[in-house]
A and B are shown apart, each in its own frame.
Chain A
Amino acid sequence: MFPFVKKKDKQQSNYKPINKKLATNDKYIGQLFSAKINSDFAVREIVARYSEEKVAIYYYATIVNGDKLYKGIIRPLLENVGKDLKEVVTLESINEVNTFEDVVEHINSGKAIIFENGNDTAYSVDIAQFQERGIEKSENESIIKGPKEAFTESLNTNISLIRKRFHDKQLINETHKIGERSKMEVNMLYVGDLVNGEILKNVKDRIKNITADNVRNIEILEQHIEERPYSIVPSILYTERPDNAASYIEEGYIVLLMDNSPACLVVPITFWAFFHSPEDRYLRFLFGNFTRIIRFIAFFITVFVSSIYVGISTFHSQMIPPDLLLAITSARERVPFPLILEVLLMEVAFELIREAGIRIPNPLGPTIGIVGALILGQAAVEANVISPIIVLVVALSGLTSFAVVDVSMNYSIRISRFIFIFAAGWFGMFSLTGAFLLWMMYLASLKSFGVPFFSPLSPGYKSPGNNLFRKIVKKEIWRSGNVQPKDIKKKQTN
């Protein structure tokens, strides 16, 4: 209740109409932007030729295109004649602004505001030029076959990247403003005649209900709109590939974009989205499914290999074939720790190397990472701190974890792995199975914006049959029914 009231107050204080006198306006704007100490806030006062009136232009010098400012605003004002200001200024977008609230917002987003003496309307001209990098290759979701472009930190570029891939008049780009202090735009992209109205409303409500001073980028937005902030698994897909985003839009999903993030969010999402890679679809049927199998095995190994090793060797040693058993036993005879501690030690060591590998300055990164891991393992074995098979097990579980492409899911899996190791060390396969079952049930009970996490496998819906494996492209008749698109038929069958 209270924040709501406060919000209204704030709004009213800025809701000040523009005065006719330029001097008054100038003084007020100077106050708003602390013009005297704010060094890149610029004012240019000139006398317009068409009206012979004093005109003032306000802008942030660092975020506008100086050339455009000169050629599109200042020169025309000084030289051109015309009926009113709109006719004089030759740039493509010019809007009328009536309140100081809008003025502030427009200046902040890189527009120039023109005040005229004797006019209570100001004009905003878009000459923004934010600095950004060019379109580069996708770094974290790299693929071999298929488009290589990735999103950049610029919203317009990103939208253009998506529109380039999906030509549909119904592809709608809806904008919402969030943040109290710094107003940021969130753009929702969806296909109007596909997306489910309820899900759309749900997402909109969540975005509208954000009460934060500033939501800088998508990564923060994700945490604002997710349903279960404490959950171990993510419920929103974060991808930096425009082709991936476009393929979701096409299926009736919603994509969220913001400035300053080289990625987008896809909602609602299921387990399969984290499991799939766009390349599965670019590869031919057999090859794509082969990678799916490999990835599934990798999923399994990374989650379970350490815990199964702990469980079997501390509780069910009868399971291990005698040759292997004797080999492990002889290696363990000089190791000072219990087996579970050995595994935990190496797992933590691996996580340390991984964390350090990310933070380490670029030129040093690769060498230190690999050498560190190798030397650490080798030395630890030679010093009889751990047995060699542990290096094998942990290396395997660490290596396969990279098959989980999604950053968030990767963390979920790595944390789950520790849970399972503890479970296995407690009552062997008995508690490990129990823990796995509960983990599985937890996942199954999750919903992302109302869509069950394991759908359309179960609960079942009409779907393209693209869960663990995928069908050949010709046979994909339906859209995913679990997001309940308005038009479920993807392709007319003959």
Chain B
Amino acid sequence: MRKLKYSLLLSLITLLLTGCYDKTELEQQAYVVAIGVDKGEKENTYDLTYQIANPEVGSSITGGSSDEAPFELVTVQGIDFMTATATANSFVAKNITLDHTKVLFVSEELARSESFLRGMQGASRTSEIRRQVNIVVTKEDTRTFIETNQPQLETRPHKYYQLMLGRSTETGIVPQSTIHRFFQLTEGDADLFLAMYATTQGEDDKTEGNVDEYIAGQIPKEGGNPTQFMGAAVFKEGKMIDILNGEETRIALILDNTLDMKDLLVTFQDPINKEYQVAGDLSKKDETKVEVDYKKEGPTKIDVTVPFQLEVLAVPSLIDYTNHKKHREKLKESVEGELQETADALVKKAQEEYGSDPFYWSIYIRSQFKTIEEYEQADWNKKIWPNADVTINFDMNRIEFGKMLKDSDLEEVWD
């Protein structure tokens, strides 16, 4: 019995020795915070850029040498995301870990080609890249983008991405574009996927326009980081086909129930004094109502009602909307009308140009079918959506004017 016990103990000890396979000390790992994917030289290869955080920058614990760069950029060629890390290890001393990746940059060039979807398949297979990671389409090469992106306030890249992505989706100028959503929409084979659009290269021919009619790169600004997040890249069946500007992106977000939208800062034309504009905070408290009346033959009717609230923040024309009911009515009508116009234009564009919708509305028609087969045969993208009869109603149910009752009378001030 005693011998048996000892031999069991011995075999247990040998088992103890097996436990080193997945053990990696923290300092033996290199933490990638962002991955950039570009088109490779050959067909179906990619140039993968890893942005690796430098742990010694910004942590006061040991006070490491502060003249080191906050991150290291590594670009390698690869056929998918995972095996490329092995290649990168030929010149990175540490084990490259993708667990902490915050964002996946894709160059517009690659996004517009077919090989993008193929590359993304690999990303879904590994558990290292999370489904919550956002896809950002960059106008230029991703490497150039990451290199040029020099935030002044947030030297540590992961912090920058965390805050930047969070804030810009909150304001609604870019959509949330997680890998998870990408796969849902792409595999669902209906609807369009919207991805964040960003660039570091400003355009010279700055178009005049409303604050949010820009796409990234067009925003006139001085100082600060050259990076701009604005607008959305439109993907159809895993391939980028167009870019929506900031305003269109907002409309798409308002119309889509599956995306979070906190509150949007928007400007409208002042309905009374057309020289000026009115700035407001638009928020949607209730869900957008989408009613679908599916007809097998003939156009399907889609009725959409968007309830929203507006808090007026600035009235440069100084027209007293607060106290005049008529003025308020006018403002309401004008705001609703303006939104409706943009929305109609977007729907029209989607129906005619894209042949699919960016609002994820195909889910509302599913309840009309019993099986997937029927649903797929009805074909949202080709048959239902392009011929659908879409009416959109914006319904402002509340208007508020902030904490000031009246604006100061400028005439009197200048007197």
Residue positions of A touching B, CB distance < 8 A: 313-315, 317-318, 322-323, 325-335, 338-339, 387-389, 425-428, 431
Quick one: CB contact mask for B47-63 with A, threshold 8 Å, 1 for yes? Answer: 00000010110110110
Chain B residue numbers with a CB within 8 Å of A426 are 16, 19
CB distance from A230 to the nearest CB of B (A): 13
Determine whether the beta carbon of B99 is less than 8 Å from that of A330.
Answer: no
Chain A residue numbers with a CB within 8 Å of B24 are 314-315, 317
Those 9 A-B pairs whose CB atoms lie nearest each other, nearest first: A318-B99, A426-B19, A330-B55, A329-B55, A326-B55, A327-B59, A330-B56, A332-B27, A322-B158
- A387-B61 Cα distance, complex, nearest whole Å: 9
Give the interface SS of chain B, mostly helix, strand, loop or mixed. Answer: loop
Determine whether the beta carbon of B22 is less than 8 Å from that of A325.
Answer: no
Residue positions of B touching A, CB distance < 8 A: 16, 19, 22-27, 29, 31, 33, 53, 55-56, 58-59, 61-62, 64, 97, 99-100, 102, 128, 156, 158-159
Q: Which of A313, A322, A328 contacts B53 (CB 8 A)?
A: A322
Q: Which of B23, B102, B128, B159 contacts A323 (CB 8 A)?
A: B159
Chain A residue numbers with a CB within 8 Å of B55 are 325-327, 329-330, 333
CB distance from A315 to the nearest CB of B (A): 6
CB distance from B102 to the nearest CB of A (A): 8
The chain A residue sitting closest to B16, CB to CB, is A426
Most buried by A among B31, B97, B159: B31
Determine whether the beta carbon of B64 is less than 8 Å from that of A325.
Answer: no
Determine whether the beta carbon of B16 is less than 8 Å from that of A330.
Answer: no
- Given A315-B22, A322-B100, A388-B61, the answer on whether A329 and B27 have CB atoms closer than 8 Å is yes
Q: Can you spell out 10 A-B residue pairs with CB atoms less than 8 angstroms apart?
A: A322-B100, A322-B158, A323-B159, A325-B26, A326-B58, A327-B55, A329-B27, A333-B27, A333-B55, A426-B19
The chain A residue sitting closest to B59, CB to CB, is A327
CB distance from B71 to the nearest CB of A (A): 11
CB distance from B178 to the nearest CB of A (A): 17
- A332-B61 Cα distance, complex, nearest whole Å: 10
Determine whether the beta carbon of B97 is less than 8 Å from that of A318.
Answer: yes
- A335-B26 Cα distance, complex, nearest whole Å: 11
Chain A residue numbers with a CB within 8 Å of B19 are 425-427, 431
Q: Which of A322, A334, A339 contacts B33 (CB 8 A)?
A: A322
The chain B residue sitting closest to A338, CB to CB, is B25
Give the interface SS of chain A, mostly helix, strand, loop or mixed. Answer: helix
Chain A residue numbers with a CB within 8 Å of B156 are 323, 326
Chain A residue numbers with a CB within 8 Å of B59 are 326-327, 330-331
CB distance from B35 to the nearest CB of A (A): 15
- A322-B71 Cα distance, complex, nearest whole Å: 14
- Given A322-B100, A326-B31, A326-B156, the answer on whether A314 and B23 have CB atoms closer than 8 Å is yes
- A426-B97 Cα distance, complex, nearest whole Å: 21
Chain A residue numbers with a CB within 8 Å of B31 are 322, 325-326, 329
Chain B residue numbers with a CB within 8 Å of A388 are 61-62
- Given A318-B99, A426-B19, the answer on whether A333 and B25 have CB atoms closer than 8 Å is no
- A387-B27 Cα distance, complex, nearest whole Å: 12
Most buried by A among B16, B58, B59: B59
- A314-B209 Cα distance, complex, nearest whole Å: 54
Q: Which of A328, A334, A425, A431 contacts B26 (CB 8 A)?
A: A328
Chain B residue numbers with a CB within 8 Å of A318 are 97, 99-100, 128
Q: Which of B23, B25, B97, B158 contacts A332 (CB 8 A)?
A: B25
- A206-B278 Cα distance, complex, nearest whole Å: 91
- Given A317-B29, A322-B100, the answer on whether A333 and B56 have CB atoms closer than 8 Å is yes
- A332-B24 Cα distance, complex, nearest whole Å: 13
CB distance from A300 to the nearest CB of B (A): 24
- A318-B33 Cα distance, complex, nearest whole Å: 12
Chain A residue numbers with a CB within 8 Å of B97 are 317-318
The chain B residue sitting closest to A322, CB to CB, is B158
Determine whether the beta carbon of A331 is less than 8 Å from that of B61.
Answer: yes
Q: Known contacts A318-B100, A328-B26; can you find 19 more A-B pairs with CB under 8 A?
A: A314-B23, A315-B22, A317-B26, A317-B97, A318-B99, A322-B31, A323-B158, A323-B159, A326-B31, A326-B58, A326-B158, A327-B55, A330-B61, A331-B62, A332-B25, A333-B56, A388-B62, A389-B61, A426-B16
- A315-B22 Cα distance, complex, nearest whole Å: 6
